[in-house]
Amino acid sequence: MGFFITFEGIEGSGKSTQIALLDEALRQQGYSLVRTREPGGCAIADQIREILLHPQNSALNSTAELLLYAAARVQHVNEVIAPALKRDQLVLCDRYTDATKAYQGNGRGLNQQLIQDLNQIAAGTVVPDLTILIDLPVEIGLSRALSREIAQQDDSEGRFEREEIAFHQRVREGYLSLAQNESERFIQVDGTLSVPLLATEILEKTLDFLHRKKASL
Ligand code: TMP
């Protein structure tokens, strides 16, 4: 039986670093896994990602944005996530349906019922078994994200980083309330911890979850 683990957090929360470290640690323990991300994760969804994240698309309508996330997800779920779970692999995904609730729902103020319906169409029964929320203050996250953009001399994915601070604050609050309402599924960790400390905590909690799940089968 496969397991589906998602990572969530605001900009600059350190998800990508932590997901790579967890991937490596779990492989060392013998897990067969697939690491992927949203938006993207396969050729067609990667093309939609470019539209969604490029700063030149600042005129993108919020509802069009929501539908593009849903379209990318349908493709990704069918092409990558569902087949991997069927092969009994562990799937680690950088962002998923909770991101749509937090960004398009809390951040943009779109109707949460509409988002839930679209998530249901796009994801169906492919729902996360475990979600790791890396939480941190928006000022810290944004300054990390901007330094990374400057260091890499690449702003081709910076459309959301250009949103006002209040937007990111609403996204953070959205995530925190999701984690509170679904405390069984979420593990919330402190994104201001050092990279190694945070990686150790995430690995311990993930292994604990996997052992409990396997014991209950
Ligand atoms: P990331 O790869 O740096 O996490 O960037 C993905 C961006 O897309 C990030 O700003 C969050 C945003 N996003 C949404 O707004 N809604 C979604 O459903 C997903 C998956 C991502």
Give residue-wise pLDDT tens across range 88-104.
Answer: 999 999 999 999 999 99
- With a 6 Å cutoff on the Cβ, whether 99 touches ligand 1 is yes
**Top-confidence residue, 156 or 25:** 25
- With a 6 Å cutoff on the Cβ, whether 75 touches ligand 1 is no
- Distance (angstroms) between ligand 1 centre and the Cα of 10 equals 9
Condensed to tens digits (0 to 9), the pLDDT of residues 15-53 reads 999 999 999 999 999 999 999 999 999 999 999 999 999
φ/ψ of residue 16, rounded to 5: -65, -40
**DSSP secondary structure letters along 130-156:** EEEEEE--HHHHHHHHHHHHHHHT--T
CA atoms within 13 A on the CB side of 10: 31
Identify the bridge partners of residue 34 per DSSP, sorted by sequence position.
91
Q: Is the pTM of this model over 0.95?
A: yes
Which residue minimizes the CA distance to atom 15 of ligand 1? Answer: 103
Query: 13, 35, 38: which to mutate for ligand 1, most atoms within 8 A of CB?
Result: 38
Domain map of the chain by residue range? Answer: 3-216
Class at the top of the CATH hierarchy for domain 3-216: alpha beta
